[in-house]
């Protein structure tokens, strides 16, 4: 049971391995971490050190090989697939580096897809999606397909999809990795603004120090282990 009620996450000695035998990859090798409610945490580290793996565990996209990962007092490693899916439907919002929009659906329809598992009526679904996109400055792009949008616009659509269901946690994996510098600043600023307005817990995986330093805390991950700094970005060689 979560002793500290302000902590949304309690990660205790979590390991995540891939493969078996001599080919085993130890992506996470004993991670201990706590994340408070409404915190803005950056997870930083060189490529291949386990950042995205940690993010997928925090977002219930995968299960730890061993250890305990509690979200709001519930051990994610013991929940059923359906229970994890429900959490992802209601509590977690994801933003990916490559946007991951459905190419055959319009901007509005892509956002609506996030409300389908919540069984919202079709009319309300359309309205909420339109409203969310309007909040992010895309009211004139509702009927555009992803390939008709710029990178920044696509990432806004992805953010709208992540937020339309009112999640408690927004998890972003290199959200600016595919964007130019100007757009990158726009998106990071947008994420920060949304975090502050909505009281979300924001967890951003990034190798970019300029993004990491905007966070309240930085979790540096190396060799599958985490060390925590307070607003001190990791300087990568």
Partner 1 sequence: MYLTYLRRELRRRKKQAIVVALGLAIGIGLVVTVSAASAGVKTAQGTVLHSLYGVGTDMTVSKSAKAGTGSAQHFAFGSGGSGSRASAGTHVSRNTLRPTGGSTLSQSDVAKVASLSGAKAVAGGLTLTDTSFSGTIPSSSSGGSRSGGAAAGGSSFNVSSFTVDGVQISNSDVGPLVASQVRKGRYFSADENTADVAVVSSSYATQHSLKVGSKLEVGGKQMTVIGIADVSSSAANVYIPLGTAQALSGLKHDVTTIYVAASSASNVSKLASETRSAVPGATVSTSASLASDVSGSLQSASSLATDLGKWMSIAAMAVAFLIASLLMVASVSRRVREFGTLKAIGWRTRRVVGQVMGEGLVIGLAGGIAGLVLGILGAEAITAISPSLTASLGSSSAAGSGGGFAGGGVGHALGAADSVLVHLTAPLQGGTIALAILLAIAGGLIAGAFGAWRASRMRPAAALRTLA
Contact footprint for partner 1 (CB under 8 A): 52-53, 56, 59, 61-62, 81-82, 85-86, 88-90, 92-94, 96, 98, 100, 102-105, 109, 112-114, 116-118, 122, 125, 161-162, 165
CB of 120 to partner 1, least distance (A): 10
CB of 123 to partner 1, least distance (A): 12
Residues 209/233, Cβ–Cβ less than 8 Å: yes
Three-class DSSP category at 108 = helix
Closest to partner 1 by CB, 4 vs 80, is 80
Cβ density class 48-74: b for 16+ within 10 Å, e for less: ebbbbbbbbbbbbebbbbebebbbbee
Give, in order, the Cα–Cα distances in Å from 165 to each of 8, 93, 123: 19, 8, 15
Closest to partner 1 by CB, 7 vs 52, is 52
CB of 48 to partner 1, least distance (A): 12
CB of 9 to partner 1, least distance (A): 17
Closest to partner 1 by CB, 32 vs 86, is 86
CB of 229 to partner 1, least distance (A): 26
Three-class DSSP category at 207 = coil
Closest to partner 1 by CB, 83 vs 228, is 83
Closest to partner 1 by CB, 109 vs 192, is 109
Give, in order, the Cα–Cα distances in Å from 204 to each of 102, 177, 208, 229, 235: 22, 12, 10, 15, 17
Give φ, ψ of 159 to 5 degrees.
-65, -40
């Amino acid at each position: 049971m979560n002793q500290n009620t302000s902590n949304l996450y309690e990660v205790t000695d979590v390991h995540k391995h891939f493969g078996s035998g001599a080919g085993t990859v130890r992506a996470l090798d004993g991670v201990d971490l706590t994340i408070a409610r409404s915190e803005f945490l950056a997870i930083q580290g060189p490529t291949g050190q386990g950042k995205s793996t940690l993010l997928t565990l925090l977002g219930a996209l995968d299960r730890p090989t061993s250890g305990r990962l509690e979200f709001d007092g519930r051990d994610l490693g013991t929940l059923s697939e359906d229970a994890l899916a429900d959490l992802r439907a209601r509590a977690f919002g994801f933003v990916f580096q490559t946007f991951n929009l459905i190419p055959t659906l319009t901007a509005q329809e892509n956002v609506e897809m996030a409300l389908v598992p919540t069984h919202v009526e079709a009319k309300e679904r359309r309205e909420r999606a339109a409203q969310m996109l309007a909040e992010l400055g895309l009211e004139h792009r509702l009927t555009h397909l992803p390939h008709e949008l710029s990178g920044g616009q696509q990432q806004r659509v992805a953010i709208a999809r992540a937020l339309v269901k009112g999640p408690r946690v927004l998890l972003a994996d290199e959200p600016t990795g595919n964007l130019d510098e100007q757009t990158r600043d726009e998106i990071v600023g947008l994420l920060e603004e949304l975090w502050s307005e909505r009281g979300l817990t924001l967890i951003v995986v990034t190798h970019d120090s300029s993004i990491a330093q905007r966070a309240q805390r930085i979790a540096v991950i190396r060799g599958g282990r985490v060390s925590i700094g307070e607003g001190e970005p990791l300087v990568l060689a």
